[in-house]
Amino acid sequence: MLSAISPTRAGGPEVTGFYDPRTFSIQYIAADPATGRCALIDPILDYDEKSGSTSTASADALLDAVRERGLEVEWVLDTHPHADHLSAAHYLKGRTGARTAIGALAVEMQRMWRGIYNLPAAFRCDGSQWDRLFADGDRFEIGHLPCRVILSPGHTLASVTYVVGEAAFIHDTLFMPDAGSARADFPGGDPRQLWRSIQEIVAMPDGTRLFCGHDYQPGGREPAWESTVGEQKRSNKHVAPGMDEDAYAELRSARDKTLPMPKLILHALQVNVAGGRLPEPEADGRRYLKIPLDAFPNANWG
């Protein structure tokens, strides 16, 4: 797993990104240099769909870095229920005692996906699987660093951005400037909402560091995950001058029609709408994932 530390700026966190080549995802440690307290953001529970095997290696890499640097985990944060990897939030809460959190509209995704999976009525769609549900504008702290939450729907209806000092964790809104923006065709997604969410992000000061949640390495370049608002406005064709909501919605929708569903979407969402909890063991002591057939009859098979 490739990792790199972003130099700290005044009033901002020390950020370490860990790149997972299996899912093209980045999980983060955001630490307050003054107190040594930190948040783990979008942590990954490893899963091999071919064998059905799970592993905590990626999450343990976060814990190893925390221990080596003498940090204290205060929060485990997810930006949204992910469609491309399983969340390690529940595992990391058990290892650290930290509070878990996600955007408040995750409860709407719970209701939606409970229907898709035909989950039992006993499955709670109230967000109680997390310690805190963040609404738009909510504020909290990592150590002494001020943090605020921006509702950023579009990729999913529950997506949020975490602004930590002068840095923002934007996950599936914008990617690196050479890669554009995230898809908006999942259940509850909307390209026009995504456009508005992007506009709120690029309205922040040009020097704001932006940390994205995926990098698909366009052109075969090395993985990258940090940009700035200024770089995005200068170089990302999805927010370039002349682009407006109508043009973006047309571009985004046309592109999304060509994309197959993520290979782990049906595996991941039943875990992630439960706060990263795997299904309970059955009578034989083994856990089972449930895959609904033909849930997306018009999905691209590409």
Bridge partners of 28?
Answer: 17, 41
Domain hosting 211: range is 2-269
Flag whether 299 is in a domain.
no
Long-range own/partner contacts, residues 62-67 (CB < 8 A, 24 or more apart): 62/18, 62/27, 62/29, 62/92, 63/92, 63/95, 63/96, 65/3, 65/16, 65/18, 65/29, 66/29, 66/38, 66/40, 66/96
Residue 189 in any domain: the answer is: yes
Q: What is the CATH number of the domain that holds 84?
A: 3.60.15.10
Total domains in the chain come to 1
- DSSP E strand stretches across the chain: 2-6, 14-20, 25-31, 37-41, 44-48, 53-55, 72-77, 86-87, 99-103, 132-134, 139-142, 145-151, 160-164, 167-171, 209-212, 226-228
In a domain, 50, yes or no: yes
- Can you give the pLDDT of all 302 residues of the chain as single tens digits? 778 888 778 789 999 999 999 999 999 999 999 999 999 999 999 999 999 999 999 999 999 999 999 999 999 999 999 999 999 999 999 999 999 999 999 999 999 999 999 999 999 999 999 999 999 999 999 999 999 999 999 999 999 999 999 999 999 999 999 999 999 999 999 999 999 999 999 999 999 999 999 999 999 999 999 999 999 999 999 998 889 999 999 999 999 999 999 999 999 999 999 999 999 999 999 999 999 999 999 889 87
Any domain includes 278: no
Q: Does residue 277 fall inside a structural domain?
A: no
| pTM more than 0.75 | yes
107 within 8 A of 125, measured Cβ to Cβ: yes
Domain assignment of residue 282, yes or no = no
Q: Answer whether residue 280 is part of any domain.
A: no
